[in-house]
């Protein structure tokens, strides 16, 4: 029950943060949505018990968080340079999908989009590439290599 209340409260808080509002009506709607979503995520009485994450998965999550934070700082710096007039070459870069699973592609897309200088544009399954727009795409090979290194590092820590 405590977990349910915490999930509902957390979901309500996220809703209110997105709205940037503490109006009573917004709180009421947020609470209703939070309770409904927490109930839907709860599953039935006979839901399978969840396994505890492996040490490798926890390490990989920490690494991905650190990599994302570092990319957010670097990306912010690149955007600041752009705003101050530094020469940049905005454009698209195609990154080979490689052996990423669909889940890994989804996680990659979310984490890549956190950096302010990169926006995921498309996952082209026919050509097996991930398309990213950057504020400075002057060295696409370096961008591909950075994404490949980050993916390999994460995979090694998970143990795949």
Residue 38 in contact with residue 52, Cβ under 8 Å?
Answer: no
**Calpha distance 4→40 (Å, rounded):** 10
Run of H or E residues at 14: helix 2-19
Give me the residue spans of the domains in the chain: 2-42, 55-158
Report whether pLDDT(83) > 80.
yes
Confidence of residue 43 (pLDDT cuts 50, 70, 90): low
The three-point CA angle 122-126-127 to 5° equals 75
Confidence of residue 158 (pLDDT cuts 50, 70, 90): low
For residues 50 and 62, the model is more confident at 62
User: Residue 45: what pLDDT?
Assistant: 55
- In whole angstroms, what separates CA 80 from the centre of its chain? 22
Residue 158 in contact with residue 60, Cβ under 8 Å?
Answer: yes
* Average pLDDT score over residue span 77-92: 91
**Calpha distance 47→57 (Å, rounded):** 23
Residue 8 in contact with residue 38, Cβ under 8 Å?
Answer: yes
* Average pLDDT score over residue span 32-46: 79
- Please state the pTM of the whole predicted model: 0.62
């Amino acid at each position: 029950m405590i977990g349910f209340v915490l999930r509902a409260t957390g979901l309500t808080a996220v809703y209110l943060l997105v709205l940037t509002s503490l109006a009573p009506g917004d709180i009421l709607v947020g609470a209703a949505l939070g309770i409904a979503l927490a109930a839907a995520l709860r599953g039935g009485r006979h839901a399978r018990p969840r396994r505890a994450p492996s040490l490798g998965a926890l390490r990989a999550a920490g690494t991905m968080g650190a990599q994302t934070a570092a990319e957010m700082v670097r990306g912010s710096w690149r955007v600041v340079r752009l705003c101050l007039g530094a020469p940049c070459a905005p454009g698209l870069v195609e990154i080979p999908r490689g052996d990423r699973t669909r889940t890994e592609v989804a996680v990659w897309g979310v984490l890549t989009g956190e950096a302010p200088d990169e926006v995921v544009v498309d996952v082209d399954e026919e050509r097996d590439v991930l398309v990213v727009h950057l504020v400075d795409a002057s060295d696409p090979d370096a961008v591909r290599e950075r994404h490949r290194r980050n993916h390999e590092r994460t995979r090694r820590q998970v143990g795949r």
